[in-house]
Protein backbone atom coordinates (compact mmCIF):
# COMPACT_ATOMS: atom_id res chain seq x y z
CA UNK A 1 0.00 0.00 0.00
CA UNK A 2 2.80 2.36 1.03
CA UNK A 3 4.77 1.44 -2.10
CA UNK A 4 1.73 2.10 -4.30
CA UNK A 5 1.17 5.49 -2.71
CA UNK A 6 4.81 6.38 -3.22
CA UNK A 7 4.65 5.29 -6.85
CA UNK A 8 1.47 7.32 -7.40
CA UNK A 9 3.01 10.40 -5.85
CA UNK A 10 6.16 10.17 -7.91
CA UNK A 11 4.16 9.58 -11.11
CA UNK A 12 1.99 12.58 -10.31
CA UNK A 13 5.07 14.72 -9.72
CA UNK A 14 6.63 13.51 -12.95
CA UNK A 15 3.41 14.15 -14.87
CA UNK A 16 3.09 17.69 -13.51
CA UNK A 17 6.69 18.40 -14.28
CA UNK A 18 6.49 17.14 -17.88
CA UNK A 19 3.18 18.91 -18.40
CA UNK A 20 4.51 22.29 -17.33
CA UNK A 21 7.64 21.81 -19.42
CA UNK A 22 5.89 20.92 -22.66
CA UNK A 23 2.81 23.14 -22.64
CA UNK A 24 4.68 26.37 -23.46
CA UNK A 25 6.47 24.64 -26.37
CA UNK A 26 3.27 23.39 -27.96
CA UNK A 27 0.96 26.35 -27.56
CA UNK A 28 0.53 29.11 -30.16
CA UNK A 29 2.76 30.57 -32.84
CA UNK A 30 6.18 31.54 -31.50
CA UNK A 31 9.08 33.20 -33.31
CA UNK A 32 11.72 34.88 -31.17
CA UNK A 33 14.67 35.78 -33.44
CA UNK A 34 18.10 36.04 -31.91
CA UNK A 35 20.34 39.09 -32.42
CA UNK A 36 21.80 39.61 -35.88
CA UNK A 37 24.15 42.43 -36.87
CA UNK A 38 24.79 43.03 -40.56
CA UNK A 39 25.00 45.56 -43.38
CA UNK A 40 21.97 46.41 -45.50
CA UNK A 41 21.68 47.25 -49.20
CA UNK A 42 22.43 50.93 -48.50
CA UNK A 43 25.73 50.05 -46.87
CA UNK A 44 24.41 50.88 -43.40
CA UNK A 45 25.06 48.64 -40.42
CA UNK A 46 21.96 47.39 -38.71
CA UNK A 47 20.98 45.19 -35.81
CA UNK A 48 17.82 43.24 -35.27
CA UNK A 49 16.57 40.77 -32.73
CA UNK A 50 13.96 40.07 -30.13
CA UNK A 51 14.25 40.64 -26.40
CA UNK A 52 13.25 37.05 -25.69
CA UNK A 53 15.50 35.58 -28.38
CA UNK A 54 18.50 37.42 -26.94
CA UNK A 55 17.69 36.74 -23.31
CA UNK A 56 17.05 33.02 -23.68
CA UNK A 57 19.70 32.27 -26.31
CA UNK A 58 22.10 29.42 -25.72
CA UNK A 59 25.12 31.75 -25.48
CA UNK A 60 25.67 34.49 -22.95
CA UNK A 61 26.88 37.26 -25.24
CA UNK A 62 23.72 38.31 -27.03
CA UNK A 63 22.01 41.44 -25.90
CA UNK A 64 19.70 44.07 -27.35
CA UNK A 65 18.64 47.23 -25.55
CA UNK A 66 17.53 50.83 -25.83
CA UNK A 67 17.53 53.66 -23.35
CA UNK A 68 16.25 57.21 -22.95
CA UNK A 69 18.20 59.83 -21.05
CA UNK A 70 17.01 63.07 -19.49
CA UNK A 71 19.78 65.39 -18.36
CA UNK A 72 18.57 68.73 -17.00
CA UNK A 73 21.80 70.40 -18.14
CA UNK A 74 21.16 69.76 -21.84
CA UNK A 75 18.14 70.87 -23.87
CA UNK A 76 17.14 67.62 -25.57
CA UNK A 77 16.31 64.12 -24.49
CA UNK A 78 18.26 61.51 -26.35
CA UNK A 79 17.98 57.80 -26.92
CA UNK A 80 20.52 55.06 -27.60
CA UNK A 81 20.18 51.50 -28.82
CA UNK A 82 22.83 48.83 -28.61
CA UNK A 83 23.18 45.21 -29.63
CA UNK A 84 25.67 42.37 -29.27
CA UNK A 85 25.40 39.20 -31.33
CA UNK A 86 26.50 35.67 -30.47
CA UNK A 87 29.89 36.25 -32.12
CA UNK A 88 30.61 39.28 -29.94
CA UNK A 89 29.94 41.85 -32.68
CA UNK A 90 28.64 45.14 -31.23
CA UNK A 91 26.58 47.97 -32.71
CA UNK A 92 25.08 51.09 -31.18
CA UNK A 93 23.48 54.36 -32.23
CA UNK A 94 22.05 57.45 -30.60
CA UNK A 95 19.60 60.16 -31.55
CA UNK A 96 17.45 62.98 -30.18
CA UNK A 97 14.76 62.56 -32.85
CA UNK A 98 11.31 62.51 -31.22
CA UNK A 99 10.12 59.60 -33.39
CA UNK A 100 12.91 57.39 -32.10
CA UNK A 101 12.25 58.42 -28.50
CA UNK A 102 8.64 57.38 -28.99
CA UNK A 103 9.76 54.06 -30.44
CA UNK A 104 11.73 53.29 -27.28
CA UNK A 105 8.65 54.13 -25.19
CA UNK A 106 6.84 51.33 -27.04
CA UNK A 107 9.28 48.63 -25.89
CA UNK A 108 7.96 45.68 -23.95
CA UNK A 109 9.41 42.33 -22.91
CA UNK A 110 8.06 40.89 -26.17
CA UNK A 111 9.59 43.46 -28.52
CA UNK A 112 11.48 42.89 -31.73
CA UNK A 113 13.97 45.70 -32.28
CA UNK A 114 15.54 46.91 -35.50
CA UNK A 115 17.93 49.83 -35.81
CA UNK A 116 20.20 51.20 -38.50
CA UNK A 117 23.28 53.25 -37.89
CA UNK A 118 24.39 56.22 -39.99
CA UNK A 119 27.98 57.16 -40.78
CA UNK A 120 28.40 59.22 -37.60
CA UNK A 121 26.81 56.75 -35.24
CA UNK A 122 23.40 58.37 -35.38
CA UNK A 123 20.30 56.17 -35.47
CA UNK A 124 18.89 56.19 -38.98
CA UNK A 125 15.87 54.00 -38.39
CA UNK A 126 14.47 52.49 -35.22
CA UNK A 127 11.48 50.22 -35.21
CA UNK A 128 9.88 48.29 -32.41
CA UNK A 129 7.45 45.45 -33.06
CA UNK A 130 5.35 43.96 -30.29
CA UNK A 131 3.58 40.73 -31.12
CA UNK A 132 2.13 37.69 -29.43
CA UNK A 133 4.58 35.47 -31.31
CA UNK A 134 7.46 37.28 -29.64
CA UNK A 135 6.32 36.34 -26.14
CA UNK A 136 8.36 33.74 -24.28
* 25-26-29-32 Cα dihedral, nearest 10 degrees: 10
Identify the sign of the CA torsion 123, 129, 133, 135: positive
Q: CA-CA distance, 112 to 43, in Å (whole number)?
A: 22
Q: Does 126 bind other proteins (CB under 8 A)?
A: no
Binding segment for other proteins among 39-47, 87-95, 98-106, 116-124 (CB under 8 A)? 98-106
Q: Is 111 exposed, middle or buried (0-12, 13-18, 19+ CB in 10 A)?
A: buried
* Residue 132 interacts with other proteins (CB under 8 A): yes or no: no
Contact between 21 and other proteins per CB under 8 A? yes
Of the candidate residues 5, 42, 72, 119, the single one contacting other proteins (CB under 8 A): 72
**Which one of 30, 36, 44, 68 is in contact with other proteins (CB under 8 A)?**
68
Binding site for other proteins (CB under 8 A): 10-11, 13-14, 17-18, 20-21, 49, 51-52, 54-73, 77, 101, 104-105, 107-109
Amino acid sequence: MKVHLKKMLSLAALGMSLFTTTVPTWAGFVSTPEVYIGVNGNGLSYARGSMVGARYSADNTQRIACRITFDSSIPNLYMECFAADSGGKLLSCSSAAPEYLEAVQAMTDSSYIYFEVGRYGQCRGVSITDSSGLLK
